[in-house]
Amino acid sequence: MKYFTVYILECADASFYTGITSNLASRIAIHQSGKTRGYTSSRLPVKLVWYKEFIDDPSQAIIWEKRIKGWSRRKKKALINGDWDKMVQYSKNYTEYNHKID
């Protein structure tokens, strides 16, 4: 069985990085080393704050990664915190409503 993992890292500047891997521990070590020469290399250290595993189906993992990358910061924070009510609330088009969403 092969696992594909979508993950979110919180960077030292409080930004989030979303990625996909087949070896989470190794991938986080690469991010922490600064050898990626990408987004996280100048924002060290990073901390794993969320992940979801997909068994034998990389296509579902890729869909989730792309979906999360398109989300707002507050929606990502709701996912990380497991706050499903806010996930639903932040999924709505807030411009259609007359009330403020925090």
Instruction: Report how many domains make up the chain.
Output: 2
Please check whether residues 14 and 44 belong to one and the same domain. yes
The SS3 call for residue 2 is: coil
Please check whether residues 7 and 54 belong to one and the same domain. yes
Please check whether residues 20 and 52 belong to one and the same domain. yes
Q: Which residue segment(s) compose the domain that 25 sits in?
A: 3-70
pTM for this entry: 0.87
Please check whether residues 37 and 12 belong to one and the same domain. yes
pLDDT at site 100: 54
Please check whether residues 59 and 19 belong to one and the same domain. yes
Tens digits of residue pLDDT in 39-95? 999 999 999 999 999 998 899 999 999 999 999 999 999 999 999 989 888 887 655
Please check whether residues 16 and 53 belong to one and the same domain. yes
Q: Is the dihedral of CA 50, 81, 62, 55 positive or negative?
A: positive
The SS3 call for residue 10 is: strand
Please check whether residues 60 and 80 belong to one and the same domain. no
For residue 53, give the CATH number of its domain: 3.40.1440.10
Q: Answer for the pair 79, 18: CB distance below 8 angstroms, yes or no.
A: no
pLDDT at site 102: 52
